[in-house]
């Protein structure tokens, strides 16, 4: 099977939307131009497990321009854009993904990708890397990982000494998490909530579970819409930071009683549990923007539900046994990718520039150990410089005198 997609006829729509995203990805375009010239990925087989979006299509086209043979399956069953799979299939990419696929189909598609005998893996959430380890698949030179959640899993594998090849934690690049996690998740999560509900955020009590980079970005954007933002945390430093950033901080058990909208972005399980849902106000909206659909206890919700119905696309109404209504968005999966289109291309430009350069880094450094690596800072700086240039932003340069001052230790008070 060359590909497994919904409908090849959607390719025309897909190509137009991929072109639109490309127009907002100047850094990746420059990398693609160089890859095309240098052909440094010639005949390399690359397997990707990524959200199948217009932005991902641009990464895939960049790898292909470098001479690679690329295979792609989804990193979430609900984020796949079927028009993108069609366009990529027409390009000759081995794409195996359909929006709404079952868990079984999700893994079958991943196994099909792995049949290509890949040399490099590009992962989002570490499902592909963990599958390769469980199935004892050999021949992998290295991998890259996109997300905070995936990097946590991989660092655990490194600690347990079970990692079989080097992995570049793309998420740890400054030009990734400071922008994608913060501004990307911030905006696209609000976008997903609005598309699914069309609520007014202004004046609402907006509860953000987790104050990592994604939580910070989301809280900032909700505040910008005029919400009263409440942060829940387990980490004292982050909780303090949230308070000093101007938000209310309290345990979920207290937030549950007053929240209108709840979003989990912690990376951990059962952040919103049955005991919280039982305290929620009539009409409360709950959703998740963390990688896996584990942050809301969906089984717990079913146990306290009397009846349910889809009231809008991506918005399921639960009438509880206590008579109140709770609305869960996108089945508790990533609301920004399921109900909206994920992060905008402008920010994915930097994330995927990191991905493309991480693949190059792995191939140029065959002596890396079986560890989790961060990309060198000079690569981060190069991406930031190119992004600034694309935005026509100029910055100052250190004068020779300033350089000397920074390099010295003698000059003090």
Binding-site ranges for ligand ADE (CB under 6 A): 50-51, 53, 55-56, 184, 337, 342-343, 348
| Minimum distance of ligand ADE from residue 240's CB (angstroms) | 28
- Residue 368 CB, shortest distance to ligand ADE, in Å, is 25
Return the number of the residue (195 or 343) whose C-beta is nearest ligand ADE.
343
Give the nearer residue to ligand ADE in terms of CB position, either 185 or 204.
185
Least gap, CB of 347 to ligand ADE (angstroms):
8
Bridge partners of 209? 232, 264
Q: Which is nearer to ligand ADE, 171 or 204 (CB)?
A: 171
Nearer to ligand ADE, 154 or 280 (CB): 154
* Neighbour order of strands in the sheet with 120-123: 94-96, 69-74, 45-50, 120-123, 142-145, 167-169, 372-373
Q: Alpha-carbon dihedral of residues 143, 147, 148, 153, nearest 10 degrees?
A: -40
Annotate 65-101 with DSSP letters as a single string.
Answer: HTT-EEEEEESSTTT--HHHHHHHHHTT-EEE--TT-
With CB atoms as reference, the residue minimizing the distance to ligand ADE is 342
| Integer Cα distance of 413 and 402 in angstroms | 16
The full 3-state SS of 342-406, as one line of letters, equals CCCHHHHHHHHHHHHHHHHHHHHCCCCCCCEECCCHHHHHHHHHHHHHHCCCCCCCCCHHHHHHH
Comparing CB distances to ligand ADE, the nearer of 22 and 55 is 55
In the sheet that holds 248-249, the strands lie side by side as: 248-249, 228-232, 205-209, 261-264, 284-288, 325-329, 315-320, 305-312
User: What's the CA gap between 106 and 75, in Å, rounded?
Assistant: 8
Considering the complex, what minimum distance in angstroms separates the CB of residue 10 from ligand ADE? 17
**CB nearer ligand ADE, residue 218 or residue 280:** 218
* Nearest alpha-carbon partner for 45 in 190, 143, 127: 143
Q: How far is the CB of 81 from ligand ADE (least distance, A)?
A: 9
Nearer to ligand ADE by Cβ, of 75 and 204: the residue is: 75
- Taking the least distance from each CB to ligand ADE, the nearer of 77 and 184 is 184
- Nearest approach in angstroms of CB 146 to ligand ADE is 7
Of the candidates 290, 291, 281, the one whose C-alpha atom is nearest the C-alpha of residue 327 is 281
Query: Considering the complex, what minimum distance in angstroms separates the CB of residue 397 from ligand ADE?
Result: 34
Residue among 51 and 318 whose Cβ is closer to ligand ADE: 51
Minimum distance of ligand ADE from residue 241's CB (angstroms): 24
DSSP three-state, residue 24: coil
Distant-in-sequence, close-in-space partners of 28: CB < 8 Å, separation ≥ 6 = 22, 58, 59, 62, 349, 352, 353, 356
Kindly tell me the burial class for residue 82, based on how many C-beta atoms sit within 10 Å of its own C-beta (0-12, 13-18, 19 or more).
middle
The residue among 87 and 256 lying less far from ligand ADE, judged by its C-beta, is 87
- Report how far residue 155's alpha carbon sits from residue 238's, in angstroms, rounded to the nearest whole number: 21
Rounded least distance, CB 209 to ligand ADE, Å: 19
Contact yes or no for 112/90 (Cβ under 8 A): no
Give me the least distance between CB of 110 and ligand ADE, in Å please: 16
């Amino acid at each position: 099977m060359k590909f497994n997609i919904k409908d090849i006829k959607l390719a025309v729509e897909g190509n137009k939307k991929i072109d639109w995203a490309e127009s907002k990805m100047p850094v990746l375009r420059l990398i693609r131009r160089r890859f095309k010239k240098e052909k440094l990925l010639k005949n390399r087989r690359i397997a990707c497990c990524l959200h199948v979006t217009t932005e991902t299509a641009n990464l895939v086209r960049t790898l292909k321009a470098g001479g690679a043979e690329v295979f792609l399956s989804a990193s979430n069953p609900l984020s796949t854009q079927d028009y993108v799979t069609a366009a990529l299939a027409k390009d000759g990419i081995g794409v195996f993904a359909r929006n709404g696929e079952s868990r079984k189909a999700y893994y079958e598609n991943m196994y099909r990708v792995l049949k290509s005998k890949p040399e490099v893996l590009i992962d989002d959430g570490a499902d592909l890397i963990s599958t390769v380890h469980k199935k004892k698949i050999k021949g992998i030179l290295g991998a890259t990982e996109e997300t905070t959640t995936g990097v946590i899993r991989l660092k655990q594998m490194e600690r347990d000494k079970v990692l079989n090849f080097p992995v570049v934690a793309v998420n740890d690049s400054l030009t990734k998490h400071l922008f994608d996690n913060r501004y990307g998740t911030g905006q696209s999560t609000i976008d997903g909530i609005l598309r699914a509900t069309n609520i007014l955020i202004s004046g609402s009590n907006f509860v953000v579970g987790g104050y990592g980079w994604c939580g910070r970005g989301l809280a900032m954007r909700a505040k910008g819409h005029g919400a009263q933002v409440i942060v829940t945390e387990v980490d004292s430093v982050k909780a303090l930071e949230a308070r000093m950033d101007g938000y209310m901080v309290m345990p979920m058990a207290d937030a549950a009683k007053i929240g209108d909208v709840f979003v989990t972005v912690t990376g951990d399980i059962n952040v919103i549990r049955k005991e919280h849902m039982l305290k929620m106000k009539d009409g409360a909206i709950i959703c998740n923007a963390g990688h896996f659909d584990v942050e809301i206890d969906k089984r717990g919700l079913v146990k306290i539900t009397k009846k349910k119905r889809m009231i809008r696309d991506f918005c399921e109404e639960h009438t509880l046994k206590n008579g109140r209504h709770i609305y869960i968005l996108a089945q508790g999966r990533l609301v920004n990718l399921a109900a909206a289109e994920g992060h905008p291309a402008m920010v994915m430009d930097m994330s995927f520039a990191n991905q493309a350069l991480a693949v190059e880094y792995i191939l140029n450094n065959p002596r890396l150990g079986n560890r989790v690596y961060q990309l060198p800072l000079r690569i981060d700086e190069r991406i930031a410089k190119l992004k600034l240039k694309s935005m026509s932003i100029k910055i100052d340069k250190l004068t020779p005198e300033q350089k000397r001052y920074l390099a010295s230790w003698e000059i003090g008070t």
